[in-house]
Amino acid sequence: PEKRKERYLDQAEMAVLGTFLDANEINHPESVIAIRLLMWTGARRNEVLSAEWADFDFGANYWRKPDTKTGEHTVPISATVVEQLLKLQLITGRDSGPIFSRSLDGRVTAIKRLWKRFGIESKIDCRLHDLRHSFASFLISNNKPILAVSKLLGHKDLSTTQRYTHLYEEVLRDAVEFVGRKKKNGMNIIN
């Protein structure tokens, strides 16, 4: 049987990634913003890289994903994502057609190259796709409903979403300490 990879970046690793992206934004703005969109939307790499300006409603903060793996669906986006996209408009001077340029070496190659450099410099071993798991895990670890996470990821089945969500170690530790505090205070919640 296939062994599932259960890799996601914890909060400390995400902070390291954020610092790395900040340091590389001037020289690689499109790749950095693409990776931030992966981090902050939980989208698939292809959804981000094939996105068009017309797919976004900046007034209502929505992203209409026209042809994803599970079909067309619309998801809300944060003001931070809108800010990044508007910044990219200023940098590239484009506000129609594809969001990310189709350079000679290819969009995926440029992002993979930057991602590989992040792994080497930070010594954090993970894949770009793990940002999708990280997005889902962050939401679940902060008490967001699994149904909301499922809708944001574009999953049709909650069992798929469950494979993407991992509770942070701190959340699990807090849960057992919660039981310990209740038991210590004389509340007999567990016989």
Active-site choice (7, 87, 113, 129): 129
Task: Please confirm, yes or no, whether 87 is among the known catalytic residues.
Answer: no
Residue among 5, 69, 113, 173 flagged as catalytic: 69
Active site residue 132: yes
Catalytic residue among 45, 65, 107, 132: 132
Whether 129 is a known active-site residue: answer: yes
**Of 36, 44, 107, 166, catalytic:** 44
Q: Answer whether 100's CB lies under 8 Å from 30's CB.
A: yes
Tell me if residue 164 is catalytic: yes
Distance in angstroms (rounded) separating the CA atoms of residues 51 and 94 = 13
Question: Dihedral sign, CA of 70, 104, 85, 29?
Answer: positive
Set 36, 65, 107, 164: catalytic member: 164
Decide: 107 and 60 in contact? Cβ < 8 Å: no
Q: Which residues are catalytic?
A: 44, 69, 129, 132, 155, 164
